[in-house]
Amino acid sequence: MIAFLVFIVCIAVQAFYAGYIGTGRASRILPKPEQARERAFVTVLICARNEVENLRKNLPAILKQDYTDPTGRRLFNVLVVDDGSDDDTATVLAELTGRYEHLEVVRIIDKQSVGKKAALKEGVRRSVGKWLLLTDADCVPASEQWLALMVQPLSAGKEIVAGYGGYFKGYGLLNAFIRWETLHTWLQYSSYIKMGRPYMAVGRNMACESELLSWAMNEPLWESLPSGDDDLFVQIAGNKVNCAIVSDCRAFTYSPAKGTLREWVAQKQRHLSTGKYYKVGTKVALGLYGVSHAGMWVAFVLCLFTFAAPAVIVLMVSRCLYVWLKWYLGARRVNEAGLVFLFPLFDFGWMMYNFAFLPYITRKNKTSWK
């Protein structure tokens, strides 16, 4: 009887969340043409450490972005902060600087701190113009309109813009789960932004006012972790009116997913360590979502051996069809509709994921970057 009551409560909570996550119940915060002001100069900022191959491969696509004023004059530069690399990064950047006059390189010779916070701070200090577009060395934009689309909400008065940072499709179940988990995370935080409750963004595709980021870097919370600069920035400076999302597929970035379970686990430990610094309301809302998801599956299994089995099967099938439809619609918007056949497996797998990473969400800090 207790398991059945737990199942009913949990499935009701899950249905409620599914009605809001990724549905756009709050209208998309994008500027209308008549609201937009003139384009401002943008610095695309990349902090890199030992990324020689990624820089050689991806930087040209960033440097060739289509972002100009009405006269055709380019309105952006690309600033790469070489954070103490000991490979051939400096050589490759020197070659590219010779080919592209709007590429600037700042090199930190003697790396003193863990993580990339110092490199990011130096990059913001050396940036030009009022707007920043942040990405990583292993990311490539989906189109030449990436920059223009990502800063468009800034021209309408927004101060923080979250974009989608996807992963290239590869072989194997791990690659598929990484892409599914990235989709799931995007559906969550983009929906919360649309509801006026921002709590995170991804540093591989985020635009902002440079002065706002500079201010946030001097707040005490900024130094809580050596990584997690994207989430901490939103926690410090984000509010219900100054954040926006861009869901146009031309504004996405893509990077290679981790190839081994060990590499991916290390990455997720670092990413999830900021969760403990979220606002109380956000932690409660996200925690309730995760706990109700786990409770639903556990109670479902227990109820299969009771008189309530027929009822819970019907309810679970109804819930799954509803939630998986929502996920499919979200997946289609980010060109991941091919994951639909793995939704049943990954829905259950996400419960195991939460149990496995719970220590890093609640207490442990991952201190390394590269």
Decide if 310 is inside a domain.
yes
Q: What is the 3-state secondary structure (H, E, C) of 178-201?
A: HHHHHHHHHHHHHHHHHCCCCCCC
Question: How many other β-carbons are positioned within 10 Å of the β-carbon of residue 269?
Answer: 17
- Same domain, residue pair 175 and 284: no
Q: Return the DSSP state at 257.
A: P
Nearest-angstrom CA–CA distance, 29 and 196: 10
Query: Is pLDDT of 85 > 80?
Result: yes
At 19 the three-state DSSP class reads coil
- Same domain, residue pair 56 and 135: yes
- Same domain, residue pair 157 and 206: yes
Domain span at residue 164 reads 33-261
- Please state the domain count of the chain: 2
* Residue 59 · residue 94 · CB < 8 Å: no
Nearest-angstrom CA–CA distance, 294 and 312: 15
Q: Which two tokens stand for residue 130?
A: 């009022």
- Same domain, residue pair 18 and 38: no
Q: Which is it for the CA torsion 70, 158, 333, 266, positive or negative?
A: positive
- Same domain, residue pair 64 and 183: yes
Average pLDDT of the residues in 23-29: 40
- pLDDT tens digits, 285-296: 988 999 999 999
Decide if 177 is inside a domain.
yes
- pLDDT tens digits, 120-129: 999 999 999 8
Decide if 205 is inside a domain.
yes
Band (239; pLDDT cuts 50, 70, 90): very high
* Residue 366 · residue 46 · CB < 8 Å: no
* Residue 58 · residue 139 · CB < 8 Å: yes
Phi, psi of 21 (to 5 degrees): -75, 120
Decide if 272 is inside a domain.
no
Query: Is pLDDT of 334 > 50?
Result: yes
First to last CA, the chain: 51
Mean pLDDT of the chain, nearest integer: 88
- Same domain, residue pair 84 and 64: yes
- Same domain, residue pair 128 and 211: yes
Q: Which two tokens stand for residue 144?
A: 């030449």
